[in-house]
Structure 1
Amino acid sequence: MSSREIAELTGKAHDNVLRDARTLVKQGVLKSEETPYTHPQNGQSYPEFLLSQRDTLVLVSGYNAQLRAKIIDRWQELEGRVVGQFQIPTTFAEALRVAADQAEQNLQLQKVVEQQAPKVAAIKRLAAAGGAICITDAAKHLQLSPSKLFDWLEQHRWIFRRKGSRRWIAYQPRITAGLMKHKVTGLKPDAETGAERAAFDVLVTPKGIARLAELLLEGV
């Protein structure tokens, strides 16, 4: 169960649920880890916890009885769905059919894993690459034209331009998530005022390249 769903069920602010979970993690009580999720509407990444049943109940143990009851009822509903989807075989023939179906599903899953293995390996290599690179070089790694990657990044709110400027700027959430960064280059002082000037170039980090590869692989 996600911390976002817990917040929704209990009526608590998600930030408060995150705070409680982080406190329990520091105490060594929770075993679940904090992971990012991408908002489907704005494409931005936010933190959340994906909690096992045990960790969920530990987290809400400090809440009042009514809130704990809502969480427990939700878990029972989810478990009921899983049980309802599986019909226990009552005859030997049905058991053989279930076993055959499972073997076929496993075979199909294995084929998918084998097909995706080279792409997954490529993503891992990109993530292990050293240093941030410009968007044009990132496009080469991702086997895209630079113009297409620039368009994608702008459309999905990774980069933008200020009005009247030709320079690209990375959105702060992408920088905070470690996906992009800015390279600052000093320029000659202004001829008239003598004011110091600097140029900002957008760079994609190895983590950003790996994330882009995953998104492009998913067809996002």
Structure 2
Amino acid sequence: MSSREIAQLTGSTHDNVLKTVRQLVKRGVVSSNETPYIHQQNGQQYSEFLLTYRDTLVVVSGYSVELRAKIIDRWQDLEARVVGQVQIPTNFAEALRLAADKAEENQRLQDALARQAPKVAAINRLAGAGGAICITDAAKQLQLPPAKLFAWLEQNRWIYRRHGSKRWIAFQPRITAGLLGHKVTSLDPDRESGSDRAAFSVLVTTKGLTYLAEKHIGGQGPLERT
């Protein structure tokens, strides 16, 4: 039972209930299970305690008999709801059916974990790489041909080329999202004007690698469109 519900049932303020619980926790009388919650009206985060049946009775032990009775009645109501939701077999056939349903549920969970295992392994591998790498190295990490990754990035508006240029440039939204970045390389000054020149190379960030790994391994085929 939450400390907020205790306050509602006893007509006390939640601050007073929190004060009582914290005093009892400090004395080692009840367990500390302080949990944050979001207030529905103002969206702010506050604290509450989630108490067991025993700890709840300890907290309200100093309250009047009528208030303690309200708490006990509420606990019995909660327990009755839980029992009502539990399917208890009444014969051997129902017990077999329940066991079969549980086995099917466990198998579905194992299958889901098996499907996710490659994705998790890839994400862990990519997250350990750190920093940002070029698209060719990203393709190696993803176990893809570089040409395939370049083509996908272009088709899905991650990178583009200016007219007449052979260099790739990252789309700004992908940079803003932290998926791509640029490496700036200084070039020799222009022979005619003498002005400094620079070249941009597209880099894939760790966040971008993780996203691409999910698209590649988590989809039906290599790199779904997005």
> Following TM superposition, by how much is the alpha carbon of 1:106 offset from its aligned partner in structure 2, in angstroms?
2.0
1:123 maps to: 123
CA gap 1:97/1:153 in 2 versus in 1, 3 angstroms? same
Are the counterparts in 1 of residues 127 and 206 from structure 2 also a CA contact under 8 Å? yes
**SS of alignment partner, residue 194 of structure 1:** coil
CA gap 1:108/1:159 in 2 versus in 1, 3 angstroms? same
Computing the radius of gyration from Cα coordinates, the structure with the larger value is 2
Are the counterparts in 2 of residues 187 and 199 from structure 1 also a CA contact under 8 Å? yes
Structure 2: runs of 5 or more not aligned: 1-36, 45-84
Aligned-residue RMSD, C-alpha: 2.6
1:187 maps to: 187
**SS of alignment partner, residue 202 of structure 2:** strand
Are the counterparts in 1 of residues 119 and 218 from structure 2 also a CA contact under 8 Å? no
Deviations 1:45-97 (Å, cap 9, x if unpaired)?
A: xxxxxxxxx75944689xxxxxxxxxxxxxxxxxxxxxxxxx99697355753
CA gap 1:56/1:202 in 2 versus in 1, 3 angstroms? farther
**SS of alignment partner, residue 204 of structure 1:** strand
Are the counterparts in 2 of residues 179 and 207 from structure 1 also a CA contact under 8 Å? yes
Matched pairs, number: 142
Are the counterparts in 1 of residues 160 and 169 from structure 2 also a CA contact under 8 Å? yes
- If the length of structure 2 is used for normalisation, what is the TM-score? 0.55
Are the counterparts in 1 of residues 170 and 202 from structure 2 also a CA contact under 8 Å? yes
1:152 aligns to 2:188 (yes or no) = no
Q: Hey, what's the Cα distance between the residues in 1 that align with 2:42 and 2:165?
A: 48
1:111 maps to: 111
Are the counterparts in 1 of residues 167 and 201 from structure 2 also a CA contact under 8 Å? yes
1:135 maps to: 135
Deviations 1:93-121 (Å, cap 9, x if unpaired)?
A: 55753553243122221133034324312
CA gap 1:94/1:128 in 2 versus in 1, 3 angstroms? same
Are the counterparts in 1 of residues 131 and 205 from structure 2 also a CA contact under 8 Å? yes
Q: Map of 1:169-188 to 2, 5 A cutoff?
A: 169-188=169-188
Letter in 1 for 2:116: Q
Deviations 1:138-165 (Å, cap 9, x if unpaired)?
A: 1111111111000111111111112222
Are the counterparts in 2 of residues 89 and 95 from structure 1 also a CA contact under 8 Å? no
- If the length of structure 1 is used for normalisation, what is the TM-score? 0.56
2:163 maps to: 163
1:206 maps to: 206
